Structure 1
């Protein structure tokens, strides 16, 4: 999506964008559609980015299925591209810079030719990665980094055991790598249920893999009889999950979750004095937090780790070109629940 046009009569330029006009299941003929929309205006701290590649995240599926489209909504919460215009107050980037970012939940998304995004949540694209491989990283990197270091407070000297539930997914795939690089004394155990996902988890540096099918707590405690210090989960809404985490965790342990359980039995955490954290990487941009620029710093730090060969892309499925058909194909892969790593979509 690299060309935009000017509307008839000298009106504002328009661009192609992929989004939804109504909430439909993934196999509906209009689950996602392409339309011409106005190229976004930019604010003082905004960049206008020519989008070269995007990836698909579970939040895309949730928004498509349930959120009000308000006529037509553009999805996409990961992107890599080129800065083509900067706002008056921009200081971090210049035209022509190659960037990557996860965007904001309350602004139009990246499934378009151009996107406006606040510079403070944008990072320098890893120079060693192509557009597609870079686009796999931002949202999951920010989620994993904030969970590990803002919530669980891991450091380079931390010792203990970290359990990552569903470690072959997008967040788990980068969390394993970040934990092993930045908290190298921590033992990292990932859960998986298929041979191919277990192999992927081990290839990323996990110290062990445990089957999360069946009785998760029994399987973990068979391998770690004294329990674990920290748990990361995207599956706390599953029946019996919280009870399992209470069994697995050591006293004074910590749990960080990113999913949306309708009910949470927090009282069951009390007997072990466990702490429960929520991680939501959109919180900084949604609430214009004073430290929004922290996400710029995180993305730049991870870009350096990638360029040093210490972190690798988590892209496993690559679809091209950027069309409504390919974006919905990416949604189908993620919605299947069997995706390993990340699905990316790019233009040649």
Structure 2
């Protein structure tokens, strides 16, 4: 009868003895080396199964220099945008034998720094930062320190930092141009966090669409500065207090759009009859509110899959300098909250107003 190790588990030495090979051969099989005969590989696999042997991950990491884990830092786990992307990252990592350690920062840059420090202390093989709020200099230092790093929905100018993002400038234009084409000229923007790369990009797209339509930018029509239902309600309250309130709103994300919708309903105003709304993200809930929310969709699952693939390629030395930044196209999902019929693109203004262009793609959503 085999005598197991002091912790009661079989050892690599016992696997080697059972298979009739050296310990080095067992190690090569476990680590996927090609320098093992097929016969020896089969004997080792059979011995591992018979003994129910499980490699010691820590010891294996000391040998390979890898922990087979990656760190994932997100801005707000309560935001419905993140779970589909997190799931896609976990699925892609698991398919290649890696675990994911998840940290939430609650939109706080100091907490993000702390989370990154803890993950590095735990010897993760690389980091994915989604909606990162820390200064760019901090991220560049990680790259200088040779930490494999992928940022999501942000661009950092460093040759060793990869990025996966949706084109938020195009998304901002797409949403605003759609509202312009529906006949609106007093269009507000519900802004997200000031430190957000995506917020700045969507605001830029919003301003570009106004400029193309020959309309001046009015800073009074920009309200907000956070991302939550409460922030959307408060921003909408501020906008409704203007001498000339907006007739349409483009929100940084769907949570803010839903908060604005709640405030409008509380005041007895109709959506889209009195105020039209377009969000951003296309969270699952967007199709089921009343009225169903028109929004700009981000390919959340694809973003997660690409981020994980890029990072693991970097960790395993398979990455190339080509396509350091992967930019995905946004898509306008037309539902009832903007005043158009689901699936209907607003090609021309409904009133005699200036021209409006279109960028990106348009598809219909659920009618709720």
TM-score w.r.t. structure 1 length? 0.36
Higher percent of residues as helix: 2
Structure having the higher strand fraction is: 1
TM-score normalised by L of structure 2: 0.34
Larger radius of gyration: 2
